[in-house]
Amino acid sequence: VRARVMQVDQSPDVTYQDIGGIEEQMEEVRETVEMPLKNPEMFEDVGIDPPSGVLLHGPPGTGKTMLAKAVANQTDATFIKMAGSELVHKFIGEGAKLVRDLFDLARQEEPAVVFIDEIDAIAAKRTESKTSGDAEVQRTMMQLLSEMDGFEDRGEIRIIAATNRFDMLDRAILRPGRFDRLIEVPKPNAEGREQIFQIHTRDMNVSDDVDWAALAEMASEASGADVKAICTEAGMFAIRDDRTEVRMEDFEEAWEKIQKEADEDEDVSK
């Protein structure tokens, strides 16, 4: 069971150079997660405790998972990911045990970055979700809180959680000593999108006619994940046209296609 819910990566390959448009958030994560792992004595000398847990919140596909992986990479820590939704929906009756296993594993793997994605699935306000009234979900959350509370001597384990639904969270998890550092990871602005286009085309054969600033303008409202999808799709258009060089028009068509698909998805979900 454990193997299916927890994703363990001893040496994640994401670096800070792979992340665009969220410099401030990156700095904050470095200060709150990387520094305590790399220079714990700094915190001891000054006499403050580093934040216990850091919560990243913001829309899907903005780089929250990447940030957690990049910190693990930078600190030579093991990256351990667990998705809240899987915990609750797939392994009914086992949530609390899995949380315990998660922390046991982290202690074995030290230094470790524990990433809990979709934390809202186990930590939603009672009023907000059908599942949160569920005793099983409550038990899972209590186990998580007790692991965090009993973690005075955390050693080389840092906890990062992420959510797209900040408004749904039970405030209990935001209390001091728990996820007491909140970092909002927004969608990128035009400048950020331009950077992300450049990151995802680093290994692509791109024609000189590509105007990065215009692309970034065009893809307004795109998340980092959307920008990546545009680049891949643009490459597909070139291949279909039997070319090895990707042109501006390929990116334009790719964006149209992706928007259309997004609209259709919305219609389906209605």
- For the annotated binding site for ATP, the residues are 61-66, 200
Smallest distance from the beta carbon of 146 to ligand ATP, in angstroms? 26
Strands (E), 42-195: 53-57, 78-83, 112-117, 157-163, 179-184
Contact between 235 and ligand ATP (CB under 6 A)? no
Beta bridge partners of 158: 113
Based on CB atoms, which residue is closest to ligand ATP, 19 or 254?
19
Helices 224-240, 248-269: crossing angle, 10 deg rounding:
120
CB of 18 to ligand ATP, least distance (A): 6
Number of residue whose CB is nearest ligand ATP: 224
Q: Token digits for 49? A: 């405790």
Site for ligand ATP contains 66 (CB under 6 A)? yes
- CA atoms in the 13 A half-sphere facing the CB of 177: 11
Query: Which window, 35-43, 56-64, 70-78, 127-135, contacts ligand ATP (CB under 6 A)?
Result: 56-64
41: tokens are 């004595």
For strand 179-184 and strand 53-57, is the pairing parallel, antiparallel, or unpaired?
Answer: parallel
In angstroms, how far is the first alpha carbon of the chain from the final one?
34
Distances (CA, A) of 144 to 39, 53, 96, 263: 26, 11, 8, 38
Least Å distance, CB 176 to ligand ATP, is 25
Please report the beta strands in the chain, taking only residues with DSSP state E, as ranges in sequence order.
6-9, 53-57, 78-83, 112-117, 157-163, 179-184
- Count the neighbouring beta carbons within 10 Å of the beta carbon of residue 262: 13
Q: Which stretch binds ligand ATP (CB under 6 A): 32-40, 60-68, 150-158, 240-248?
A: 60-68
- Binding residue for ligand ATP, selected from 225, 245, 252, 257, defined by CB under 6 A: 225
The nearest distance, CB 192 to ligand ATP, in angstroms, is: 7
Rule CB under 6 A: is residue 20 a binding residue for ligand ATP?
yes
CB of 21 to ligand ATP, least distance (A): 5
- Residue whose token pair is 């990243």: 56
Least Å distance, CB 31 to ligand ATP, is 18
Residue 224 near ligand ATP by CB under 6 A: yes
Task: Please state, as a whole number, how many other Cβ atoms lie within 10 Å of the Cβ of residue 242.
Answer: 6
Q: Does 85 bind ligand ATP (CB under 6 A)?
A: no
The reply to whether 182 sits near ligand ATP by the rule CB under 6 A is no
- Residue placing its CB nearer to ligand ATP in the complex, 24 or 76: 24
142 scored as a contact of ligand ATP (CB under 6 A)? no
55-63, 70-78, 232-240, 261-269 -> range binding ligand ATP (CB under 6 A): 55-63
Rounded Cα distance, 114 and 160, in Å: 6
Among 27, 60, 126, 155, binds ligand ATP (CB under 6 A): 60
Q: Write phi, then psi, for 248 (nearest 5 degrees).
A: -55, -45
